[in-house]
Amino acid sequence: MNLYKINIENKKDFLKTLGVESAGVEIISKKMDLLYIFIKDLKTPAVNILKQDALSIGAELAVPGGVILCEKSHYDCLLIASKKHLEILSNKELAQPFGLKDVAKKLKEFLVNEKFPIRVMGIINANNDSFYEKSRFESKNAIMAIEQMIDNGANIIDIGAVSSRPNSLLVTPQDELERIKDICDTIKHSKLYEKAVFSIDSYTPSIVEYALNCGFGIVNDITGASDDEVIKLTKKYNAKICIMHMQGTPQTMQENPHYDDVVVEVSDFFEDRISRCENIGIAKKDIILDVGIGFGKNLEHNITLIRNLSHFKKFGCELLVGASRKSMIDKIIKTPIEDRLEGTLTIHLKALDNGANIIRCHDVKEHIRALKVYEAIQ
């Protein structure tokens, strides 16, 4: 007889291979994942009730000393539970006072189990001031680069004509359209949109509509759906919208960015913007969330968001991460932009581990190769 510890990525598949009955697969798989849920500023009586309820079903609530004596009015605590525990607790706490009804509703959100395919989004910049020189293309060269990315395995091609790097210059809608018009027209007339999904990296309604009318299927909005007109256009053309979080604007975002809790604040932002999109008629399946690595965040903020990506799965939307060759890599290990591929791949593979399913990158071929190895060992 031998015993050894194993890592299981797909619990249901493992149980089926083991020969577990189908009903047992559903029950047991829910017990196989431990979730760690941090709860902030919970009323002390609620902490004590939740502690007892968690213990009664085999879960645990880690609390500070002094809770039992109610030394403070509110406490932070950590719930350690399986999905099965969450199912029980989220029903149990609905009948409890002291704000536990709201806790129950939020616990239910963590039971969302949407599974999205992994996709690679290649970057095409139709401007001459993006931070990575090799991503800049004029109209003629852009089409060649697009076709090469598709051949290399890109599922999505993201095209923009305005740089969003820190301190980038503002561009008029007329100039933005002039830069991107020929590319959009070629995509439409050659039906390249049948080979890959095209994403328009813009928040200007007139540019967004021009691209959508040319067969684009995603609106990549760095302002996070701040303009209802952009949301309405997304709905009109049955496209998807990518909501990105950014503190400030590209011109101000890196001027000492500050958060009391970056995960909570980004999460609250998404909750508000998702609601706005749903009110206009866009379903969650057509919403992509991007935590905005490097957009109004310092290194600590970026790392915290990557580590906690699984939190954002509760929304039931696709998750995009784009850290390609960004300065956070340089802050970890001093490297010029041209030498940041290894750092990029490391961050992106970790992001996939933590819940992302769309990776936005400059180096499509290298990402596709890395993903093939990544998927083989999952």
Q: Among residues of the chain, what percentage have pLDDT more than 90?
A: 71
- At 299-354, the pLDDT tens digits run 999 999 999 999 999 999 999 999 999 999 999 999 999 999 999 999 999 999 99
Residue keyed to tokens 């350690």 = 80
Same domain, 230 and 371: yes
Identify whether 123 is part of a domain. Answer: yes
| pLDDT tens by residue, 340-362 | 999 999 999 999 999 999 999 99
Res 14: pLDDT: 81
Query: Are 268 and 335 in a shared domain?
Result: yes
Q: How far is CA 314 from the centre of its chain?
A: 11
- Domain contains 252: yes
CA-closest candidate to residue 37, choices 292, 263, 245, 243: 263
Over 80: is that where the pLDDT of 371 sits?
Answer: yes
| In a domain? residue 187 | yes
> So what's the pLDDT on residue 259?
94
Residue 209 has pLDDT above 70, yes or no: yes
Q: φ and ψ at 133, to 5 degrees?
A: -60, -35
109, 144, 165: which is the final residue of a domain? 109
Among 341, 343, 346, CA closest to 364: 341
Q: Where are the beta strands (DSSP E) in 216-304?
A: 218-221, 240-244, 287-290
Which stretch of DSSP H or E encloses residue 51? helix 44-56
Separation CA 87–CA 103 (nearest Å): 12
pTM: 0.85
Say whether both 77 and 158 belong to one domain. Answer: no
- Residues 294, 262: contact at Cβ < 8 Å? no
CATH code, domain carrying 79: 3.30.1370
- What's the DSSP call for residue 251? T
| 185-204 pLDDT per residue, tens | 999 999 999 999 999 999 99
Helix (H, G, I), strand (E, B) or coil at 101: helix
- 151 and 91: one domain? no
Question: Lowest mean pLDDT: which of 24-38, 177-191, 355-369?
Answer: 24-38
Q: How far is CA 12 from CA 16, 32, 357, in A?
A: 6, 10, 20
Tell which of 75, 109, 143 closes a domain: 109
Q: What is the rounded CA–CA span in Å between residue 360 and residue 319?
A: 11
On whether residue 5 sits in a domain, the answer given is no
Question: Cβ distance 181 to 203 under 8 Å?
Answer: no
Tokens of 329: 């890599």
So which residues are the catalytic ones? 326, 360
Q: Are residues 47 and 153 in the same domain?
A: no
Region 13-31: what's the mean pLDDT? 82
DSSP letters of 328-368?
HHHHHS---GGG-HHHHHHHHHHHHHTT--EEEES-HHHHH
Please report which helix (H) or strand (E) contains residue 148, including its range.
helix 139-152
Domain that holds residue 45: 33-109
Cα–Cα distance for residue pair 132/252, rounded to 1 Å: 20
Q: Which of 215, 220, 196 is nearest to 145 (CA)?
A: 196
Share of the chain above pLDDT 70, in %: 97
297: left (phi over 0), alpha (psi -120 to 50) or beta: beta
Is the distance from CB of 86 to CB of 36 less than 8 angstroms?
no
Rg (CA), the chain: 23
Note whether 65 and 136 are same-domain residues. Answer: no
359 and 341 inside one domain: yes
pLDDT digits (tens, 9 = 90+) for 51-105: 999 999 999 999 998 888 888 999 999 999 988 999 999 999 998 999 999 999 9
What would the mean pLDDT of 268-287 be, rounded to a whole number? Answer: 96
250 and 269 both lie in a single domain? yes
Task: Return the closest-CA partner of residue 198 out of 237, 254, 253, 250.
Answer: 237
Same domain, residue pair 182 and 325: yes
